[in-house]
Amino acid sequence: MSSPTWTPAALSSEARALEGRCWRLVEAQHRVSTLKLVDDLDEQAVLEELIEATKPVVPIECRKLHYLLATPFRYGSNYPTGSRFRRAGKSLGIYYAAEKVQTAVAEMAFYRLLFFSESPDTPWPSDAAEYTAFAASFKVARAVDLTLPPLSEDAETWTHPTDYTACQQLTDDAREAAMQAIRYRSVRDPQGGANLALLTCTIFAKAAPVERQTWRIRLGPTGVQAICEFPEKRIGFDRQSFAGDPRLKDMRWTRK
């Protein structure tokens, strides 16, 4: 696949402002998982401090933020594997998020299925897993929108399911053009919702999440079911929902 050529100057001419809320999901055990390793809360606090000391340092400009907002930027020193807009190795952090919580749920559902596709002998979980969806408020002065012309003319390249080469080059050029974010269509959401790749932690309008929801996601032989009790939402993904990704082509749906 040939890569489109977008120079920093060309991207700069397409800069636009963006603001609103964006959503991410994390496992609900992100804070209490260490409790089972200790006898009391004081010991847990010490253990959390020890774990924190082993992680890369939070960049100075991100230290005022809640850890859920700052975490994606602290791993800029060494990124083990590449992602759509971020190169592997020593690369700057990116905060991936979705404009709507439903899109964030779809992204999580896909990557949970991908794990099981790559681990065909792993049985399906017996229970639904609990996740926390949280919204962050952001305001961006300079963003590039891949869903609008003229950049949308290269949509096939930006949305390739596995080849991220062109997107990673775009990020390099966007950073050189002083862009703060990239808006793009979610490749995983069957409804085609929009995602954001936030390139800097300085664009958050609030230092902490502004809304939270609890989601339960169940994986099994028929697909994925996701439920939020408040506000009440239900989303289902069947076996064909993510059929466009070749990595799920040979999924073993029937397991013991």
What is the reported pTM?
0.90
For the record, the structure tokens of 229 come out as 């009790």
Spans of all domains in the chain: 8-248
Cα 126 to chain center, whole Å?
A: 25
Which pLDDT score is estimated for 149? 97
| Residue 76 pLDDT exceeds 70 | no
Q: Which residue has the tokens 């397991």?
A: 255
Q: Average the pLDDT over 138-143 and give the result.
A: 98
pLDDT at residue 20 in the model:
98
Nearest 5°: the CA angle 65, 61, 144 is 90
Contacts of 150 (CB under 8 A, 6+ apart): 14
- The β-bridge partners of 234 are 227
User: Residue 209: beta bridge partners?
Assistant: none
What confidence score (pLDDT) does residue 54 get?
60
**Tens digit of pLDDT for each residue in 143-197?**
999 999 999 999 999 999 999 999 999 999 999 999 999 999 999 999 999 999 9
The sign one gets for the Cα dihedral 121, 122, 127, 129 is negative
Mean pLDDT of 45-74: 81
| Closest to 133 measured CA to CA, from 204, 188, 215, 206 | 215
Query: How does pLDDT run across 82-98, given as a tens digit for each residue?
Result: 999 999 988 899 999 99
33 pLDDT above the threshold of 70: no
Instruction: Please name which of 209, 207, 227 lies closest in space to residue 217, comparing C-alpha atoms.
Output: 227
Question: CB-hemisphere CA count at 13 Å for 22?
Answer: 25
Alpha-carbon distance of 18 to 253, in angstroms, equals: 40
In terms of Cβ atoms closer than 10 Å to its own Cβ (0-12, 13-18, 19+), residue 239 is middle
pLDDT in tens, 202-228: 999 999 999 999 999 999 999 999 999
Burial of 178 (0-12, 13-18, 19+ CB in 10 A): middle
Mean pLDDT, the chain, integer: 91
Mean pLDDT, residues 123-146 taken together: 97
Residue 31 confidence (pLDDT) above 90:
no
